[in-house]
Amino acid sequence: MNKVAFGIMALLAVAAICLVPAGVDAQGEIIHDGTNVYKVSTSEDFDIKYTLSEGDEDKAITYSAKVINKAGEVVSSGVSPSTGTLGSGEAEEVTVSVPKNPGEYKLVVEFFLDEVKDSQQEYVFNAVNPITLTVNLKADDVTLNLEDFGVYFYVDGEKIEDSFKTISLSYDGTGSVSYDWIANPDKSVPHTFYVKAVGETSMIQGLDEVHTFYAADNDYTLVIVIAFLLLVILIFYAVRIYRKPVKNFGKPKARR
């Protein structure tokens, strides 16, 4: 009987411990909805937030934010505002200026309590050049009313929800439709795309035709720099050879 009573008391003690409210841990956050791939030279809004832990309720919260590249270098004017104060648990909006050069970047936010660094949060994102997908179309019937006719783009078999485009054709029934795809796909393998009409139609050629492409980088900065350096070297050697004096050894002596 004593063993049973002891067991019941132990269970009650464990239950009591479990019911004690846990302390709120300090926490810094970077909040952003959607993808982490953005078009170069645009801007994206983020929310940052810090929640004070118990015992720190009277401390002042400040932050410092920056954008760095893969080399760890700070991007100038990457975040606005880059510093500020926060209320515990209250989100503050900051705007990230997406760099003009494609590549991987990182939003870094440092949180301070009474001016002493407490923690740091990071958010990795990619800046990309848009990949323009274009499909040529032709209507068999030039009198076809396309006022409410539209298409969606499908990439690698997946429907791109924000790619809806309405079609406009010329007097002879020909035309095209394009979409700037903001993505960071694998560049080593081929990808496919096609357009599908909203509703069934068989009067327009070009719909549902699969096209293949490679997502090659469109940033030729490094190539241009290398080509310029090679040109400078070639000019240097050409000038050197041109200005090099010609040695005159005179006429050979006649044999006696």
On whether both 197 and 180 belong to a single domain, the answer is: yes
- The phi and psi torsions of 28 (rounded to 5 degrees) equal -105, 145
Lowest mean pLDDT of 43-57, 81-95, 179-193, 237-251, name the range: 237-251
pLDDT at 14 over 50: no
Write down the mean pLDDT value for the chain.
82
On whether both 164 and 123 belong to a single domain, the answer is: no
On whether both 86 and 152 belong to a single domain, the answer is: no
On whether both 113 and 28 belong to a single domain, the answer is: yes
CATH code at position 70:
2.60.40.2550
pLDDT at 141 over 80: no
Write out the two tokens for 161. Answer: 């929800």
Structural domain ending residue among the three candidates 128, 155, 172: 128
On whether both 107 and 204 belong to a single domain, the answer is: no
Number of domains in the chain: 2
On whether both 83 and 143 belong to a single domain, the answer is: no
On whether both 140 and 101 belong to a single domain, the answer is: no
pLDDT at 159 over 80: yes
On whether both 173 and 190 belong to a single domain, the answer is: yes
- Mean local confidence (pLDDT), 192-220: 81
On whether both 86 and 170 belong to a single domain, the answer is: no
The residues near 142 (Cβ < 8 Å, ≥ 6 apart) are 169, 171, 172, 173
On whether both 45 and 90 belong to a single domain, the answer is: yes
The verdict on residue 175 lying in a domain is: yes
Structural domain ending residue among the three candidates 111, 128, 145: 128
The verdict on residue 17 lying in a domain is: no
The verdict on residue 147 lying in a domain is: yes
pLDDT in tens, 48-78: 999 999 989 999 999 999 999 999 999 999 9
Q: Give the range of the structural domain holding residue 186, as residue numbers without chain letter.
A: 131-213
- Mean local confidence (pLDDT), 111-136: 96
